[in-house]
Amino acid sequence: MAVVGGGSTYTPELVDGLCDLEDRIVVDDLVLLDPSALRREVVGGLSERILRARGWGGTFSTTADPDAALEGADFVVVQLRIGGQAARHVDETLPVGYGCLGQETVGAGGLAKALRTVPVVLDLAEEMAARANPGAWLVDFTNPVGIVTQALLDEGHRAVGLCNVAIWAQRRIGHYLGVDPDDVAIEHVGLNHLTWIRSARVGRKLGRGDGAGEGAGGGRGCAADAGFAEPSGGDDRLSDLFERFGPELELESGVPIDVLRLQHALPSYYVHYYYGHDAEVAQQSVPGHRSRADVVAELETKLLEEYRDPALVSKPAALSYRGGAYYSLAAVRLMASLHAGTGDVQVVDMRNDGAIPGLPDDAVVETTAVVDASGAHPLPQRPMPSEMLGLVQHAKAYEQLAVKAACTGSRDDVVRALFANPLVGQYPLAAELADEILAVNREHLPRFFPS
């Protein structure tokens, strides 16, 4: 397994997860790839101490050489950040000056990150195809996950996208209901960072290799009259959740409880950027407002200092504040399913292939899928109501234009993408933002500035 961006402060979380699931997947050789010698020393040092303390006996190494890291890999986990937290800070602040949302995965900031990231990941995938083992998988955790995965699959790479939003929500629902989170089956549908949970049922463990045969035979409770996959395991508990935990769910989602009841759905936190755009921009415009990038940069400085302690042999408690909760669990479960072909049901980013009505087959969506050795196979979903589907179609059109812009290096394609972005969508605003984004990201955009 090669971890690209292995110097991330997330990495100790990932290696800890590898030890947790050694009954499902055993990694013999782990390589952390990172250009920073400091990160390789500090993060790599803690990661190896965690592995050894937990009895792992494999081969561990760090490197700055992509060829060496990718050679003979079976899995390549991508968690890189082009431009670091400094570029993220620009993504989260520049758009605010234009009256737009400042965020690193959606809106104008999300496009800026996509322009920096997509070409790098595509180049990496090409190198991986040449050097990794036949049938190797690229697992993308790099934001914007939907756009990056769309680019990878458009080019025919063997890749799956992964986000921690679904598994985090599943675990929160389990907490509120007082049940094992793995007994909660969620009906999760949409695009990366634009999703809704439309039902939550208790009584069936997910992600534990409990029936590849069921997936192939449609035995997961498919409704014959509608052709969609009905989540199994009892009655939908969303109404109960809204009634008992309305204030908590409103706080966690950022969406008023009245909207949750109106749609009978629990949106991801990122949906509130669409539903409450103006209020969010107003909050970001307040003098003294700190970007998330500033907060994370400060936290990372503290984490790296803590990681230096040679006596530290477990992931520190402060890592939970970094974000990406349950990332390691989701990532290792996904790789275990791909490796062993167990047919587990998990939420991933993959081609739609008819699962969500109203979206093209080649559109990358985020929903439940059966995961086996041949990849992720989306389960058929109920038609989305018009107010959800319209927004998803709008955002998907933008995502496809974002991929095109990142690949062509065309300023006009950047304008088109911003013009289509639901959180921008005006002219000449799109053109003004395009010029500003390209100017401030110049050093990271060789396709736009080849000289």
Active site residue 269: no
- Tokens linked to 101: 């949302």
Pair type for strands 375-378 and 364-372: antiparallel
Distance of CA 174 to the CA centre of its chain: 21
Helices 327-340 and 165-177 cross at an angle (nearest 10°) of: 110
**CB neighbours of 420 closer than 8 A, spacing ≥ 6?**
394, 397, 398, 401
**CB neighbours of 426 closer than 8 A, spacing ≥ 6?**
419
Buried b (16+ CB within 10 A) or exposed e, 103-123: bbbbbbbbbbbbbbbbbbbbe
**Cα gap 256→247, rounded to integer Å:** 9
- Tokens linked to 7: 């110097």
Reported residue count of the chain is: 451
**Cα gap 347→370, rounded to integer Å:** 9
- 440 to each of 114, 124, 404, how far by Cα in Å? 14, 24, 20
- Tokens linked to 68: 């060496």
Q: Which of 362, 367, 432, 71 is nearest to 229 (CA)?
A: 367
- In the three-class reduction of DSSP (H, G, I as helix; E, B as strand; rest coil), residue 447 is classed as coil
**Cα gap 177→171, rounded to integer Å:** 10
Neighbours of 38 (CB within 10 A): 10
Asked if 352 and 365 touch (Cβ cutoff 8 Å), the reply is yes
Asked if 14 and 4 touch (Cβ cutoff 8 Å), the reply is no
**Sign of CA pseudo-dihedral 118, 273, 333, 39:** positive
**Cα gap 242→315, rounded to integer Å:** 34
Set 10, 270, 273, 327: catalytic member: 270
**Cα gap 218→229, rounded to integer Å:** 8
Report the greatest alpha carbon distance in the chain.
61
End-to-end CA distance of the chain: 36
- Tokens linked to 339: 């490796």
* Residue numbers annotated as active site: 270
